[in-house]
A and B are shown apart, each in its own frame.
Chain A
Amino acid sequence: MTATDLSTPVPAVVAPGKHGTSARRVRSRGGRLLGYAALVLAAAGLLLPFFWMVVASLKTNNDVFTIPITWLPDPVVWRNYVDIWQRSDMTTWLGNTLLLSVIVTFLQVFTGSFAAYGFARVRFPGRNALFLAYVGTIAVPWQSYMIPQFILMSKLHLSNTLWSIVAIQAFGAVGVFLMKQFYETIPEELSEAARVDGLSEYGIYRRIILPLSRPALASLALLMFTTTWNDYLGPLIYLRSPELRTIQLGLNTFISQYNAEYALIMTGSVLSVLPVAVIFLLGQRYFIEGVASTGLKG
């Protein structure tokens, strides 16, 4: 039994070694049931707010917040799912958000993994200080330097364009840090062997390191995608024109000064979560097809 390839679940339930195989199977089946029960219960706890969102999206505005909380809509207002497409630019918002998320994710994964290789595998003077500067900027709260950054971007005529969001998100330090940590788990001997075979550093990066780091690339891509998709403050500061709105900014237009269309906001939120969930579901194959299955003998 290994942690990466399990046909039997939940190690805590499976007693180690001593039992006979049939006893083990019985225990194992009970354990499996117990494990599933625990998972289902936990899943319910994790999904509760999403469930509430769906329920709220089927209510009228003034029924969304009530005392006590109501878990079932009455009456069920399906209209919200029609209204949101007719009354707003949902398509534009989703399109912008998708475009931004894809570009940012691509750039961050590409430049981040590239830079990380420089930090992880090439020794040069000043490397550690530079890396600390990278990590250090993660520790500066964005809201304290966003105005200087905004002034700068305005001077470059980038504010109020989608490029501004790409620019502020794509070169972050988190991706560099993540990939560097991951590269360090790959045995140095692999690169050494490749060097002896005459591969350049770029060759090593492309032929050896990248294929081996698919799980990390996949998680970085998913995290970046989700973060960009759900970002509110960035678009709020940089985007003004209605045709540039992202989904989070767009949902904000259902709030007016003295009122808010909570039901429609929740309808939009449900619709905006679904694509991310689908991408997450699909992107998962890369976690499992990691080092273990690429035939590497560490």
Chain B
Amino acid sequence: MATLPRTRPRNRRLVSRNTVAGWSFILPNFLGFVGLTLLPVVVLFYVAFTNWNVFGVAEWTGTANFRRMWDDASFWTALRNTVYYAVFHIPLTLAAALGLALLLNRKLRGVRFFRTIAFFPYITSIVAIAVVWNQLFSPEYGPINALLGAVGVDNPPGWTASATWSMPAVIIVGTWRYMGYYMLLFLAGLQTIPAQLYEAAETDGASPWQRFVHVTLPGLRHTTFFVTVLLTIESFKVFDLILVMTGGGPGQSTLVLSQYIFQKGFEENQFGYASAVSIVLFAICFGITVIQFMVNKRRNS
């Protein structure tokens, strides 16, 4: 009791000193962030409640855009497709990226070369990627179906030319393209795990699998969290890959929310409605992110 009155002012001083220090670190980035990102995003939230057509006047329409969305079958199709893509793309990419990182995190001869190659899908022009994968998937002339035919598959899928198989095709290409990106992050994360931990584990007779579970995974906790959050958001926002691969087709089979937003905004000039759809997309991503944050916090403590 007697110490309390003395610690409080010190605490307060500490808090204010920390606040000043904290903000001084954040400020250079924060100024740019507020002016160039946050401000337009706030405007977007306002626009979502108007009928803005991009040229000048925006009339306040309340929740009309959101009520319209509720009855808009195309919006639901796009949402369903987006979830379909994300649900498969996230775990596949996560596993592939981690696998690649573990495989390439060693002093093998030529390992730099292989790492560079694993990153190639991410740096190769997206147009070339769409062209090559589409041709590989070509139902009549593509090598993939030729291979499937050779091993006895009677009715090979139509891939990007069929409404049923276009999404699986896009998911495969998406995983192939982005695993190198996330591999890089895992590689950086692996460097933070002290070698002594592995040595200790080996002395204790741990098998490679046990070492992976008890040393590698816990050591990668922070990286995995970052990768999962970023990968989730990027999967829900997937845009250019699908645009060049299938353009959302055939029909609406690969129409995703980002593309729907672009279509409504830039092609049909309904920026108010497009903004409302963006808000929904944002809310979904943000909701999942917050849940991930909470789970992560509990796990850490």
Touch A–B, Cβ below 8 Å = yes
Binding site for B on A (CB under 8 A): 1-7, 9-12, 14, 16-17, 35, 39, 43, 45-50, 52-53, 56, 65, 67-69, 110-112, 114-115, 117-119, 122-125, 127, 130, 132-141, 143-149, 152-153, 167-168, 170-174, 176-178, 181-182, 184-186, 201, 205, 215-216, 218-219, 222-223, 226, 229-230, 232-233, 265-266, 269, 272-273, 276-277, 280-281, 284, 287-288, 290-292, 296-298
CB<8 Å pairs between A and B, sample of 16: A6-B107, A47-B120, A112-B29, A124-B23, A136-B289, A141-B237, A141-B261, A141-B278, A143-B262, A185-B192, A215-B191, A219-B187, A232-B240, A269-B124, A269-B125, A273-B123
**Pairwise interchain contact B222-A144, C-beta atoms closer than 8 A:** no
User: Which of B25, B180, B225, B237 has a CB less than 8 Å from the CB of A122?
Assistant: B25
Q: Is the C-beta of B213 less than 8 angstroms from some C-beta in chain A?
A: no
**Pairwise interchain contact B184-A171, C-beta atoms closer than 8 A:** no
Most B-side CB within 10 Å, residue of A186, A216, A233: A216
CA distance A45 to B133 in the complex (A): 11
Residue of A nearest to B215 (CB): A3
**Pairwise interchain contact A292-B25, C-beta atoms closer than 8 A:** no
Contact with A along B194-220 (1 / 0, CB 8 A): 111111001001011001000010010
Query: In the complex, which residues of chain B have a beta carbon less than 8 angstroms from the beta carbon of A111?
Result: 28-29, 32
Q: How far is the CB of A132 from chain B (nearest CB, A)?
A: 7
Q: How far is the CB of A135 from chain B (nearest CB, A)?
A: 6
Query: With contacts A1-B202, A115-B27, A291-B192 known, what are 11 further pairs, Cβ within 8 A?
Result: A4-B191, A9-B108, A49-B121, A176-B29, A178-B185, A185-B222, A215-B192, A218-B188, A281-B116, A298-B194, A298-B196
**Pairwise interchain contact B29-A184, C-beta atoms closer than 8 A:** no
CA distance A193 to B46 in the complex (A): 48
Binding site for A on B (CB under 8 A): 15, 18-19, 21-33, 35-41, 43-44, 47, 54, 102-103, 105-108, 112-129, 131-133, 135-136, 138, 141-143, 176, 180-181, 184-185, 187-199, 202, 205, 207-208, 211, 216, 219, 222-223, 225-226, 229-230, 233, 236-237, 239-240, 257-258, 261-262, 265-266, 271, 274-275, 277-278, 281-282, 285-286, 289-290, 293
CA distance A130 to B142 in the complex (A): 50
CA distance A192 to B184 in the complex (A): 30
CA distance A132 to B292 in the complex (A): 12
Q: A135-B289, A144-B278 are in contact. Are A4 and B205 (CB under 8 A)?
A: no
CA distance A14 to B114 in the complex (A): 21
CA distance A181 to B227 in the complex (A): 10
User: Which of B132, B240, B265 has a CB less than 8 Å from the CB of A52?
Assistant: B132
Query: In the complex, which residues of chain B have a beta carbon less than 8 angstroms from the beta carbon of A10?
Result: 103
Residue of B nearest to A233 (CB): B240
CA distance A259 to B121 in the complex (A): 27
| A interface secondary structure, majority | helix
**Pairwise interchain contact B121-A46, C-beta atoms closer than 8 A:** yes
Residue of B nearest to A281 (CB): B116
Q: A50-B128, A138-B230, A277-B116 are in contact. Are A149 and B40 (CB under 8 A)?
A: yes
CA distance A168 to B26 in the complex (A): 17
Q: A67-B141, A115-B29 are in contact. Are A5 and B225 (CB under 8 A)?
A: no
**Pairwise interchain contact A136-B26, C-beta atoms closer than 8 A:** no
Q: A3-B102, A176-B29, A291-B192 are in contact. Are A148 and B37 (CB under 8 A)?
A: no
User: Which of A124, A134, A136, A277 has a CB less than 8 Å from the CB of B22?
Assistant: A124
Residue of A nearest to B236 (CB): A139
**Pairwise interchain contact A144-B202, C-beta atoms closer than 8 A:** no
**Pairwise interchain contact A46-B120, C-beta atoms closer than 8 A:** yes
Residue of A nearest to B278 (CB): A144
**Pairwise interchain contact B19-A124, C-beta atoms closer than 8 A:** yes
**Pairwise interchain contact B229-A177, C-beta atoms closer than 8 A:** yes
**Pairwise interchain contact B194-A297, C-beta atoms closer than 8 A:** yes
**Pairwise interchain contact B21-A144, C-beta atoms closer than 8 A:** no
Query: In the complex, which residues of chain A have a beta carbon less than 8 angstroms from the beta carbon of B216?
Result: 3
Q: How far is the CB of B51 from chain A (nearest CB, A)?
A: 15
CA distance A17 to B184 in the complex (A): 31
Query: In the complex, which residues of chain A have a beta carbon less than 8 angstroms from the beta carbon of B184?
Result: 219, 222-223
Most A-side CB within 10 Å, residue of B106, B118, B129: B106
CA distance A35 to B110 in the complex (A): 12
CA distance A61 to B14 in the complex (A): 68
**Pairwise interchain contact A117-B25, C-beta atoms closer than 8 A:** yes
Q: A6-B107, A123-B22 are in contact. Are A12 and B208 (CB under 8 A)?
A: yes
